[in-house]
Amino acid sequence: MLRWNLDHLIKEKDFDKGVKYLESQISKLKSYKKNLKPSMSEKTFKEIVELSEHLDEKSDIIGSFLSLKQSENAKEKHLKIWEAKLNKLGIKATDELLFLGRWFDGLEVPGLTRLDDKNAKRLFKTIPNLEVSFTKSRDLAKHSLSEKEEKLAIRKDSTGISIVGELYDLITNDFKFKFRNKTFDSVELLKKYIYSASASDREKAYKSLFEPYENNIEKLHSIYTAISTNWINMAELRRYDSPIQVRNISNDVPDKVVQTVIDTSVKNANIFHEYFKLKAKIIGLKKLRRYDIYAPVKKINKKYSFDESKKLVLDTYKEFHLPFFEKANKIFEMGHVDSHPRKNKRTGAFALLASPNLTPYIMLNHDDTYRDVETMAHELGHGIHDLYTKGNYPSVAHPGLTLAETASTLGENILFDKLLESANKSERISMLSDKIGGAYATIIRQIFFVKFEQEIYSKVKDGLTHEQVSEIYFKTLKEQFGNSLTISEEFKYEWAYIPHLFRSPFYTYSYAFGELLSMSLYAKYKKEGKSFIPKIEKILAAGGSQDSVKLLKSIGVDITKQSFWQGGFDTIRDRISELKELTK
Ligand SMILES: [Zn+2]
């Protein structure tokens, strides 16, 4: 059992000292305010930026320390005190240093002359690693309102739309789900029946899931109408071209690229129809029902001890590319892995980079299943990516949405193909079916949520009844499944059950985007072989410092073209053909 060594971040006894140091750095940076003039020298500009980056890095390290401690054991009492101290520090930093970001962004700051475009360009050029990020931030600031309006908006939101969003949680958290002779007060408890091996359990579980949503549809519809209309109004006031553009700009992806991903996915929805037909055959049904898409296929009973998994994953990376192996191995050697489940430890898995100058940390909850091996490969992929970003300024080390899953998904895919080779027939059927089912859930399902949102947002201002909203949703379901399975009426109300639609409009394409980009890069690697690896390394090393469209173009990948994204779907189609062969 491995436990991580957090001393490499900060020693517990030095926590307060660390906070004091950050406070002194905030004051130091604040004292530079008088130096902010459009005509300032490049040297002074660099000095200020480097101090700000240093402050960022040190506070990230101490913040990471706290969050890693919390994931070890959230119940430890003194963590609450540390958390309060860091929150207080965060507020101080925002209050005292807000002028800095605003000034770089070209916004009005009392007492300072506005930084004009020409001088901004001159200054930003002196730090090439940050130039893209500074320029993007300036572009984004063009969508802000005047200080007075922003203040008004914040106050109005805090008693308005954010309460409307809270109402959604309050109403749905109260739902009770009647299943057979039991009553569950949380969806989580009901969910296991959605994945049940019994067909009637699955049907009953879904019926029970949607029942309270249907009973409360008028309330939920009012909330959704308010949220979507508010989003549209704000997008207009902030001078965005479209409601989805608000999300695209914050994700740093051009509208055209997002639309290409949506269109290519919609076009490829039908390759999954074949899969649903195969799945019916595998689980012994004549025709699949919507209830059955997550029905379990025979389980893989093989167990993988932690050491076996580690060897398997490291060997996979070694066969792929030696530096990948060395980086993954370094994370183990440094003692930065917490390996097994424990009482009070957080569930799930993650990789965390505190600073591009430090080795990342990996949290796992290894329980000897096949899924745990995949997870290890995935999180170590993130860790490898993190180690490639060394040399970037801390604020741009983390890759953005587009590239964040590049190494993790790549690692998972190489491991998958390696394990598939050595698996027997029934294992292969199960592995392939799960993998393709997973791709459906991350790509197609998420894209159709956005398609639904696009239609709603284009019509809501002219008025939509809850019946109309549910019909529009049902129509997108029919479009996504075709005749490959039967969908019963209650799925109409599914939209009201998807929290993302209420909490973060247009968010769900992000899942599809990352997954598909990585799959498409993997497809390219399979085609071009080892010569493609240095290109992947170039992408990884850039972290989040470059414009992703241009960066990808520099390695011959054009994400504005459907043909690139099609590569990812071709990989899935090949896997479906293989599954078809196996189930003949
Ligand atoms: Zn990931």
The pLDDT score that the predictor gives to residue 402 is 79
**Counting beta carbons within 10 angstroms of the beta carbon of residue 111, is it exposed (0 to 12), middle (13 to 18) or buried (19 or more)?**
exposed
Q: How far is the CA of 407 from the centre of ligand 1 (A)?
A: 9
Partner residues linked to 148 by β-bridges:
none
Residue-averaged pLDDT of the chain:
94
405 CA → ligand 1 middle, Å: 5
State the pLDDT at residue 171: 95
Give residue 125's pLDDT. 96
The type of residue at 556 is: G
Ligand 1: centre distance to CA 381 (Å) = 8
Q: How far is the CA of 92 from the centre of ligand 1 (A)?
A: 32
Identify the helix (H) or strand (E) that includes residue 316: helix 306-320
- d(C-alpha 480, C-alpha 276), whole Å: 12
Cα 554–chain centre separation: 25
Strands 337-338 and 177-179, sheet pairing: unpaired
Within 8 A by CB and 6+ apart from 12, the residues are none
Taking a C-beta distance cutoff of 8 angstroms, is the pair 515, 565 a contact?
no
Give the integer Cα–Cα distance in Å for 293 and 276: 7
Residue 89 neighbours by CB distance under 10 Å: 19
pLDDT, mean of residues 382-391: 97
CA of 549 to the centre of ligand 1 (A): 21
CA 336 to chain centre: 23
User: How much distance in Å is there from the Cα of 515 to the middle of ligand 1?
Assistant: 9
CA of 41 from ligand 1 middle (Å) equals: 41
What is the DSSP code (8-state) at residue 443?
Answer: I
pLDDT-above-70 percentage for the chain? 100
Report CA(478)–ligand 1 centroid distance (Å): 30
Q: How confident is the model at residue 77 (pLDDT cuts 50, 70, 90)?
A: confident
Q: Write out pLDDT tens, residues 489-514.
A: 999 999 999 999 999 999 999 989 98
Helix ranges restricted to H, 125-216: 128-141, 147-159, 161-173, 187-194, 199-215
Q: How many residues does the chain have?
A: 584
Q: Tell me the CA end-to-end span of the chain in Å, nearest whole number.
A: 43
Rounded to whole angstroms, the Cα distance separating 91 from 327 reads: 36
* Cα 485 to ligand 1 centre (Å): 31
- Of the candidates 346, 197, 359, the one whose C-alpha atom is nearest the C-alpha of residue 283 is 197
Distance 530 CA to ligand 1 centre (A): 24
The rounded Å distance from CA 519 to ligand 1 centre is 13
Instruction: Tell me the CA–centroid distance for residue 571 and ligand 1, in Å.
Output: 19
The CA 382 to ligand 1 mean position distance, Å, reads 7
Residue linked to tokens 């972290």: 543
Q: How far is the CA of 567 from the centre of ligand 1 (A)?
A: 20
The alpha carbon of 429 and the centre of ligand 1 are apart by a number of angstroms equal to: 25
pLDDT at residue number 514:
87
**242 DSSP 8-state letter:** S
Predicted pLDDT of residue 347: 87
Distance 400 CA to ligand 1 centre (A): 12
| Alpha-carbon dihedral 397, 400, 403, 406, rounded to 10 degrees | 60
CB atoms within 10 A of CB 280: 18
pLDDT band at 483 (very low <50, low <70, confident <90, very high): very high
At 64 the pLDDT is 97
CA 95 to centroid of ligand 1, rounded, Å: 33
- Gap from CA of 351 to ligand 1 centroid (Å): 8
Question: Among 182-191, 357-366, 445-454, whose mean pLDDT is lowest?
Answer: 182-191
Closest CA to 5 of 311, 314, 332, 324: 332
Distance 449 CA to ligand 1 centre (A): 21
The domain 6-140: what is its CATH number? 1.20.140
**Residue 95, pLDDT score:** 84
Please name every residue paired with 178 in a beta bridge, in sequence order, or none if there are none: 183
- The whole model's pTM is what? 0.91
Percent of the chain with pLDDT over 90: 86
Classify 184 as helix, strand or coil.
Answer: strand
Dist. CA 479–CA 458, nearest whole Å: 19
The span from the CA of 555 to the CA of 406, in Å, is: 14
Residue 318 CA, ligand 1 centroid: distance in Å:
20
Domain boundaries, the chain: 6-140
pLDDT at 252 over 90: no
Task: Report the separation in Å between the CA atom of 384 and the middle of ligand 1, taken as the mean of its atom positions.
Answer: 12
8 A C-beta contact, residue 271 and residue 285: no
d(CA 538, CA 546) in angstroms, rounded, equals 11
When pLDDT is cut at 50, 70 and 90, the band that residue 302 belongs to is confident
State residue 94's pLDDT score.
85
